[in-house]
Structure 1
Amino acid sequence: MTPEIDQQFALLRAEYGRDSLARVEEMLEPKSLIDQRHPLQRAAKWVLPGIPQIPWHDPYAYPELLPLVRELEAEHARIKAELEGAWASRRDRFSDYEHYLVRQQNWQALYLYRGGALVEESAALAPTAYRVLRESAVEPGIICPLLESHFSTLLPGATIAPHCDLWNFSINLHLAIDIPDGAGIRVAGETRHWQEGRCLLFDYSFEHEAWNKGIRTRTCLLVDLWHPDTTAPERAALTTLMTEIRKMMG
């Protein structure tokens, strides 16, 4: 723990109570609850205790997330048209997606939120998605500032190898923008397929993979959100904790 982490944790305990960060502290214990993890979750580096071990979630089940889900789905047609225009005229704004494990040229990304802030340069390219994200995710504070939101485009033939992401205290929302036949996703051994204009929600601390066996690109809008089962003090503590860990790791 660094002085910055200790100070922030002390302030949060003073505001929310001495036990408000108990789960975060338990997570930091050596080999915390490793034997209690789901077998397909054990490759995740940090697992916050008490988060239900559920790989797939109902995107309409959480009142905190529902306004974002509803607004994205309602604006799907407009979002898709703007994305197609950006792909056709400003392809240079898309970049190889850099996952913490790998960089892929056949996985292209246009970022709307990154580094804890909206990417203002993307507002003109995808104004509807940018607005919805700002109003329904950033301003309410449900987006995870440690991560991002981007249009994720898999080129024909692209695959994303099975992997676990770093932690379970955020959750991944997909709005299906443009889905060809032959595209799919598997989480914890269960395969599902995107439906254009609808959202999927899953815990990416579980092993997952995706593929595009179609003849055209597959695009989803991805939004990294706080897991609905985390609390306000936990979110603040985890933001400080992970930010400091990243600084120490360079």
Structure 2
Amino acid sequence: MNRPSATTRFFMSIVAWAERMNFKYARLGNPPVYDNATFPWAAEIEKAAPAIRAELDRILVRKDELPTFQDISTDVKTISTDRGWKTFFLLGFGLRSEQNIQACPETWKAMQKIPGLTTVMFSIFEPGKHLPAHRGPYNGVLRLHLGLVVPEPRDKLAIRVKDQICHWEEGKVLIFDDAYEHEAWNHTDKTRVVLFVDFVKPLRFPARLVNWLLMHLAIFTPFIKEGLDNHKEWEKKFYAQAEAWRNRPGANG
């Protein structure tokens, strides 16, 4: 096995130090799953769910052309290698996908209510998909799932965060800390879709400043740069195909 380079080891030690600080200076404590009332804007996101669902339905027409998560972010291969987890990114690590945002204006408008937004995407679990237990790479963000397509039976579809098992509900928000061990599964015979959002964890000074610096430095790391390049490549093909389809003979008649 290759030993991490000195630079990587140094960066990892900084992240570990920042994580300890984030835990100590968390403004809202460190529960695995949050009460939605903790974030007053969560109700606004739920109000926007019907408009977001309508935009999702248009995206799902081309579901077979959507990338898997590991097509974009290759480090995800440690937990997912099949075609069962697909994505449609509007924002990744603070960088926008302008064409995808243009396709989902109401979704993007609703997201502006969330302070410290870093990632927004539709997360699509095909039937039978099971993500094994894992934890997020860094505890400086919290995660929100807005249930959009949640098939029955409920007992076959869930996410476990630490020792809490949670069930998605259509039009309802679930907010949790992905730095705790978690796993998710769809053992139904239908597709599940949530809007998947990461936002900066509310912290007190000095952790807030350190977190801000790390989040802004993260986009220069090789695996994030690679993910952004992969997404640009996919986006180019996806919209070129849409243009070709619109321009085919007889398309407008």
TM-score under structure 2 length normalisation = 0.70
Mapped to 2, the partners of 1:92 and 1:215 lie a distance apart of: 17
| CA shift for structure 1 position 236 | 2.4
2:66 to 86, 94, 99: 94
Deviations 1:185-211 (A, max 9, x none): 001021110111010011111100001
Mapped to 2, the partners of 1:149 and 1:95 lie a distance apart of: 15
Q: Quick one: percent identity of the two aligned structures? A: 25
Partner of 2:48: 75
8 A Cα contact 1:59 1:200, kept in partner: yes
User: As a proportion of its length, which structure holds more helix?
Assistant: 2
| CA shift for structure 1 position 241 | 4.2
Task: From the superposition, tell whether residues 111 and 247 of structure 1 become closer, same or farther in structure 2 (CA, over 3 Å).
Answer: closer
* Equivalent AA in structure 1 for residue 145 of structure 2: H
* Equivalent AA in structure 2 for residue 96 of structure 1: T
Partner of 1:229: 203
Partner of 1:126: 104
* Equivalent AA in structure 2 for residue 54 of structure 1: P
Does residue 169 in structure 1 map to residue 140 in structure 2? yes
* Equivalent AA in structure 1 for residue 107 of structure 2: A
* Equivalent AA in structure 2 for residue 28 of structure 1: I
Partner of 2:88: 110
| CA shift for structure 1 position 152 | 0.3
Task: From the superposition, tell whether residues 167 and 87 of structure 1 become closer, same or farther in structure 2 (CA, over 3 Å).
Answer: same
RMSD across aligned C-alpha pairs, in angstroms?
2.8
8 A Cα contact 1:169 1:230, kept in partner: no
Number of positions where the alignment pairs a residue of Structure 1 with one of Structure 2: 200
TM-score under structure 1 length normalisation = 0.70
Partner of 2:122: 151
Task: From the superposition, tell whether residues 122 and 152 of structure 1 become closer, same or farther in structure 2 (CA, over 3 Å).
Answer: same
8 A Cα contact 2:93 2:219, kept in partner: no
> What is the correspondence of 1:1-250 to structure 2 with a 5 Å cutoff?
28=14, 32=17, 46-47=19-20, 48-50=22-24, 51=26, 52-62=29-39, 66-67=40-41, 69-88=42-61, 90-91=62-63, 94-98=66-70, 100-102=75-77, 103-133=81-111, 135-137=112-114, 140=115, 142-144=116-118, 148-181=119-152, 182-229=156-203, 231=205, 232-246=208-222
Q: Which SS does the other structure have where 1:82 is aligned?
A: helix
8 A Cα contact 2:219 2:225, kept in partner: no
| CA shift for structure 1 position 104 | 4.0
Q: Which SS does the other structure have where 1:136 is aligned?
A: coil
Mapped to 1, the partners of 2:221 and 2:67 lie a distance apart of: 26
Tell me, which stretches of 5 or more residues in structure 1 are unaligned?
1-26, 33-44
Task: From the superposition, tell whether residues 86 and 209 of structure 1 become closer, same or farther in structure 2 (CA, over 3 Å).
Answer: same
Partner of 1:16: none
8 A Cα contact 1:93 1:110, kept in partner: no
